Structure 1
Amino acid sequence: MCYVISSFCYKRFQLRFEHSIMDKAWVHLNRVDPGYERGASKFVRDVASAMGGVDVIVCPCIDCRNIVRHSASVVLDHLVTRGMEEGYKMRADWYVHGELNTEVADESKGSEWNDEIYGLFRAAECFDEELAGMGNLSDMAEGEDKKEDEFLAKLADAETPLYPSCSSHSKLSAIVSLFRLKTQNGWSDKSFNDLLETLPDMLPEENVLHTSLYDVKKFLKSFDMGYEKIHACGNDCCLFRKRFKKLDKCPKCKASRWKTNVHTGETKKGVPQKVLRYFPVIPRLKRMFRSEEMAKDLRWHFTNKSSDGKLRHPVDSVTWDHMNAKYPTFADEARNLRLGLSTDGFNPFNMKNSMYSCWPVLQVNYNLPPDLCMKKENIMLSLLIPGPHQPGNSIDVYLEPLIDDLNTLWSIGEVTYDALTRSALTLKAMLLWTISDFPAYGNLAGCKVKGKMGCPLCGKNTESMWLKFSRKHVYMGHRKGLPPTHSFRGKKKWFDGKVEQGRRGRILTGTCKAD
């Protein structure tokens, strides 16, 4: 019934365009050309008028992609500042906006939509695949509802008691506890598999514990808890992915991708020198919106900014306001995410005499309230960079897969189901800042943090002194921060043998202020 109504209304929508082909010459002009803006303005007026003077129309810009609706003024702004989506620009017809490249009867030229027909069209448009363009919103929501039901079914299965009368462990908690023991004690996959085969016989009947490591991994994978293994060059030159995926040697240093048998010198093909573990961030960010409570918490920042000028959360910072002003379209959607990235090295073997350095890369979600955003369950492990040596300035090589996903979330977005509103959105995210100690800051930012010019703020003006016998640089410019008349400025012997006449540098506030 809905399809019949929609087809009828869509036919009337066609007739409103008087079987003419829209002028498309303007889309191929440079966006700074006044003709482009005139053409875009006429296009928006024609579409709004053809749909009965509605307030909102489908936006065909490269970001909205004929999925999101905006007011006519916003659509015009998007077309001028971003441009029309390339695929839609090249079509012979703009079917989402009522034009078909076919002829209609001449007698239909003067037909108009009355209020009743327009109401029917508005009621049925979501059911018409042709009108929905790149994706039927109703079908999308229905599909996401099915996925939501499947996910809830998985959660219910995971929360099943280990056996009927068990109150201490669910199916999921038992598996996670066993996996923790495996990791902490270095059990082999074979020993863990043997344990899983033995335990069900020791448990009461009707227990739900998996009996093989394969089944356990498959179960965890269904919650997007898996990770990707990406082979890396032993000298940190590249990752064997994308165009390097099938290579056996590093294209830069020519080192073998595979380990070599120490005794025979033979290459062990299939056993990589280094393996990067990447935990994809997009599925996990999308999964957060599947929980109504979490989806509500992810909007907290939008309405809880401090009004007294005190910083209680990053939302109160200068950086946050600066980015909102610079990217207003991003800021208008409360569900878009602001992320922080943190990394540092540690010894996973807990031995001081071992020089192994493993680098985890963590992500923090600052959309959440202050009591949740720094909890360990909400801090996501994104990358596990292998040792035994720290990646140093080559850390950018290992960050590639994460940066690719972050670029996707920033420029294109991901269609995500929001359980709170039961609707789909194009989720976007930005990386606001990084959190690290000073040496790691040098690796991430690519600036000098040691040596003669060790201050990234002072640069060439860094007050440094080389200690001949200690063979290291020290930095003695601390007295610049004192008042001009302070007595310490004149005490040569107490410090570096010089009178301090320099001026203090800019004060670090912990926020990035626009120049």
Structure 2
Amino acid sequence: MDKSWMHADRRSRTYELGVEEFLRFAVENASDVNNICCPCSKCGSIDGMISARVIKDHLYFNGVDESYKDWVWHGEPSRATVNANEGESEATVDMVEDGDAADNIGLGDQEEKGASEDEEFFENGEDEQYSVESNDFMRLVEDGDKALYPGCTKHTKLNALIQTYNLKAKHGMSDVCYSDMLIMIGIVLPEGNEIPGSHYEAKKTLATLGMDYKKIHACPNDCILYRGQHADASSCPTCGESRWKLGKDNIEKQGRKDEFMRHPADAPTWKLVDQKWPEFGNDPRNLRLALSSDGFNPHSSLSSRYSCWPVILVTYNLPPWLCMKRKFMMLTLLISGPKQPGNDIDVYMQPLIDDLKALWDGIDGVYDAFRGEYFKLRAVLFWTINDFPAYGNLSGSVTKAYNGCPICCENTKPHRLSHGQKMSHIGHRRWLPRHHPYRRLTKEFNNLPEFETAPEPLSGEEVLKRVEGMT
């Protein structure tokens, strides 16, 4: 195959045609079209295992490795293999020409037998070094001899990789932390170093050492493992449970309607919104949000005069195992300063409140990629998630002193401790059932029985009425 294009200008038509011809050859000889060695000058024919489309980009951006003359990593036999094959064929022809007829017949049989042996040798012998497993092992051997960076004589790529991975396991680093550490090391080391750029690349290299794993399905009732004779079974031969679908008990459990709350969709607030604004509830694409905020000192020092208040929106339109994941939360505000905002946090919340009002009215022209249509997106804020002091800051409600309970308000039962002079709130037995035995106990509490009922929380209209006119 013509390889003169490897020395041509990357902007030329010759280079373009050569790249196309190479990719066609590599795809035809690849066992997995998504895992082909990249011959660009950066990957060096053995480091990159990517798809043909990405290789094409690499060849145009990085150029081809001109020292890669024999495409042994892409299905081309090595020169030694070709020379040995040609030499053996020539020797066989000379022997046939010099022999007699009887010998020719015997040599013909030997040729036929020898050809089959050669084919078997090339299939199972020398060419075996170009199988996927052998390629991985050869890469590992080369990594063991490859200097960590140009001029380094103390450490190799494999040695550095093993040491950093041992550090990850010893100190319990997360995958993201380990990837960031590799990037930092790669920046610190001289240019041209061999440090992997991510945890994925490091793990792919170490998997050759036998550190990979294999997932094996199990019966939901712990009857069998789907391996060996049951590797392709779709149901358990012991109990008949499906391998791929949830059992009846799990399906009933997921769709069961009872007093337990398994998702915010089971909360009264969700149902109230659907009943009060049915046009909002009829479209499942409308967002149900919760707001969470709290202050912290990022410097982990109480003496540091710095405060940071992140304001995060949580989306409840996702399954319960996803809605509280970090990547599905939205950091909408980051309030920082020399001191915490306190009750003045409402000043900093104004941009978010304006956005929430706009979302409640609806945003036209939002594109639904799944349905291929535009729709009007709306959102509603359900509640806030915070501790008690932050609750007081966000709501503007009193959370200390004589009326410190935002539920009881003026019906709070405060009691100032005689020695510590701190305010405590009693009367929590009012929320117990009417005939609960704790209501009649006296010495264990405040020496008085409890006969009152729990106060009713204020409704939204009552709260609005109380704060009307306040500036």
Q: Identify the TM-score tier after normalising by the shorter chain.
A: 0.3 to 0.5
Asked which structure has the greater CA Rg, the reply is: 2
Q: Which has the higher contact order (CA 8 A, sep 6+)?
A: 1
TM-score (norm 2): 0.43
TM-score (norm 1): 0.40
